[in-house]
A and B are shown apart, each in its own frame.
Chain A
Amino acid sequence: MSEKQIKAPRPLSIEETYAQRPRRWWVYTLIVLVVALILFWSASGVQYKGIANKGSEVAQGIVRGLASPNWDLLLGRITENTTTTKILGITVSTEGVPYLLFQTIAIAFLGTIIGGLLAVPISFLACDRVVPKWVAKIFQLLILLIRTIPSLVWALVWIRVTGPNAFCGVVTQSVCSIGMISKMYITAIEDLDVRILESLDASGCNGFQKIRCGILPQIIPNFISTVIYRFDINMKDATTLGIVGAGGIGAPLIQCITSSRWSMVGSYLFGLIILMMLIEWVSTKIRNRLTRG
Chain B
Amino acid sequence: MKKKNATGYRVPLFDRIFKPRVLVLANGHSVAQPRSRMPLIIGTVIALVYLSIKLTGFDLGIIARRGHQFFVILSQIFSPDVFNISAETYEKFGMDPAALSLLSIFDGRWWEALWYTMQNSFAPTVFGPLLDTVRMSVLGSFIGATIALPIAVACSTNINRNRASVTILRLLLNIIRTLPTLVIAKIFALIFGLGTYAGTMAILVFTIGVIAKMMYESIETIDMGAFEAMESFGANKFQAFWSACMKQILPTYLSYCLYALEMNIRAASILGYVGAGGLGILIDERIGWRDYNGLGTVLIMLFILVVTIEHLSQYLRKKLS
A and B: interacting chains: yes
Residues of A within 8 A of B (CB): 35, 38-39, 41-43, 45-52, 54-56, 58-59, 62, 87-88, 102-103, 105-107, 109-110, 113, 144-145, 148-150, 152-153, 156-158, 160-162, 165-167, 169-171, 236-237, 239-240, 243-244, 247, 250, 253-254, 257-258, 269, 272-273, 276-277, 280
List B4-60 residues whose CB lies under 8 Å from chain A: 45, 48-49, 51-59
Task: Check: B283 CB closer than 8 A to any chain A CB.
Answer: yes
CB distance from B184 to the nearest CB of A (A): 11
CB distance from B247 to the nearest CB of A (A): 13
Interface pair A167/B59, CB less than 8 Å apart? yes
Task: Check: B105 CB closer than 8 A to any chain A CB.
Answer: no
Chain A positions within 8 Å of B183 at CB level: 239-240, 243, 250, 253-254, 257
Q: Contacts A166-B56, A167-B58 hold; do A42 and B283 have CB atoms under 8 A apart?
A: no
Interface pair A47/B182, CB less than 8 Å apart? no
Chain B positions within 8 Å of A171 at CB level: 63
Q: Contacts A39-B139, A158-B70 hold; do A166 and B295 have CB atoms under 8 A apart?
A: no
Residue-wise, chain B 255-277 has the 8 Å CB interface mask toward A (1 for contact) of 00000000000100110011000
Task: Check: B111 CB closer than 8 A to any chain A CB.
Answer: no
Give the docked Cα–Cα distance between A24 and B180 (Å): 42
Give the docked Cα–Cα distance between A277 and B183 (Å): 17
Interface pair B193/A109, CB less than 8 Å apart? no
Give the docked Cα–Cα distance between A43 and B136 (Å): 8
Interface pair B303/A257, CB less than 8 Å apart? no
* Selected contact of A55 from candidates B48, B193, B306, CB within 8 Å: B193
Of the candidate stretches B86-94, B112-120, B195-203, B233-241, the one touching chain A is B195-203
Residue on A with the closest CB to B305?
Answer: A148
Interface pair A243/B192, CB less than 8 Å apart? no
Give the docked Cα–Cα distance between A35 and B187 (Å): 30
Give the docked Cα–Cα distance between A237 and B270 (Å): 12
Give the docked Cα–Cα distance between A106 and B57 (Å): 10
By secondary structure, the A interface counts as helix
Task: Check: B178 CB closer than 8 A to any chain A CB.
Answer: yes
Given A50-B193, A55-B193, A110-B49; 19 other pairs, CB 8 A cutoff: A42-B136, A42-B138, A46-B135, A46-B139, A49-B193, A51-B192, A55-B192, A58-B191, A87-B54, A88-B51, A110-B52, A148-B299, A148-B307, A166-B57, A240-B183, A254-B186, A254-B274, A272-B178, A277-B174
Chain A positions within 8 Å of B77 at CB level: 157
Q: Contacts A161-B67, A167-B62 hold; do A106 and B186 have CB atoms under 8 A apart?
A: no
* Selected contact of B274 from candidates A43, A243, A247, CB within 8 Å: A243
Interface pair B56/A167, CB less than 8 Å apart? yes
Give the docked Cα–Cα distance between A20 and B267 (Å): 46
Interface size class, chain B: 35 or more
Give the docked Cα–Cα distance between A106 and B134 (Å): 34
* Selected contact of A257 from candidates B138, B190, B192, CB within 8 Å: B190
Tell me the total A-B contact number using a CB cutoff of 8 A: 178
Give the docked Cα–Cα distance between A253 and B273 (Å): 15
Task: Check: B81 CB closer than 8 A to any chain A CB.
Answer: no
Q: Contacts A161-B67, A167-B59 hold; do A106 and B306 have CB atoms under 8 A apart?
A: no
By secondary structure, the B interface counts as helix
CB distance from A148 to the nearest CB of B (A): 5
Chain B positions within 8 Å of A152 at CB level: 270, 273, 280, 283
Task: Check: B175 CB closer than 8 A to any chain A CB.
Answer: yes
Give the docked Cα–Cα distance between A13 and B151 (Å): 39
Q: Contacts A46-B196, A107-B56 hold; do A149 and B299 have CB atoms under 8 A apart?
A: yes
Interface pair B190/A55, CB less than 8 Å apart? yes
Task: Check: B69 CB closer than 8 A to any chain A CB.
Answer: yes
Q: Contacts A47-B197, A152-B283, A153-B295 hold; do A170 and B56 have CB atoms under 8 A apart?
A: yes
Chain B positions within 8 Å of A110 at CB level: 49, 52-53, 56, 58
Interface pair B187/A161, CB less than 8 Å apart? no
Task: Check: B169 CB closer than 8 A to any chain A CB.
Answer: no
CB distance from B129 to the nearest CB of A (A): 11
Interface pair A148/B303, CB less than 8 Å apart? yes
Give the docked Cα–Cα distance between A250 and B179 (Å): 11
Residue on A with the closest CB to B131?
Answer: A45
Most chain B CB within 10 A, of A45, A50, A169, is at A45
CB distance from A290 to the nearest CB of B (A): 12
Residue on A with the closest CB to B181?
Answer: A240
Interface pair B190/A54, CB less than 8 Å apart? yes
Chain B positions within 8 Å of A276 at CB level: 177-178
A–B Cβ pairs within 8 angstroms, 28 of them: A42-B135, A45-B135, A45-B196, A51-B191, A52-B193, A56-B191, A103-B55, A148-B266, A148-B302, A148-B306, A150-B283, A152-B280, A153-B270, A157-B77, A157-B287, A158-B70, A161-B62, A161-B63, A161-B66, A161-B69, A161-B70, A165-B56, A236-B178, A239-B183, A240-B180, A254-B274, A257-B190, A273-B175
